[in-house]
Amino acid sequence: MGTENIVVTCTDCGFRESFSTLRDARVALAEHESTTGHTADWEINGLAPGVEQAGADAGVCGSPECGNSESPLLEWDTPDDKP
């Protein structure tokens, strides 16, 4: 992603740190909670363009009538449609 779009915060102690990857943010959140006993939270302010496009193509609910049926990212076949 390149930019620090994920922010981990803790209201118990004021911990606040920004990250550019979900993995790093998740690790920091888990580490803070396990070492302090606090409850941390995160805010995701943006995702990589490909992830955002995949979400847009899938639509809100992920069903064919909500998404982009022309997207190469999605297969609308159900197991019953397979030979």
Q: What is the pTM of this model?
A: 0.59
Residue 61 is assigned to a structural domain of this protein: yes
User: What domain range includes position 50?
Assistant: 6-67
pLDDT tens-digit map of 24-63 = 999 999 999 999 999 999 998 887 788 777 777 776 665 6
How many domains, the chain? 1
3-state secondary structure the chain: CCCCCEEEEECCCCCEEEECCHHHHHHHHHHHHHHHCCCEEEEECCCCHHHHHHHHHHCCCCCHHHCCCCCCCCCCCCHHHCC
Give whole-number Cα distances, 48 to 40, 54, 77, in Å: 23, 10, 27
Residue 78 is assigned to a structural domain of this protein: no
Q: Who wins on pLDDT, 78 or 48?
A: 48
Give whole-number Cα distances, 22 to 34, 54, 81, in Å: 18, 17, 36
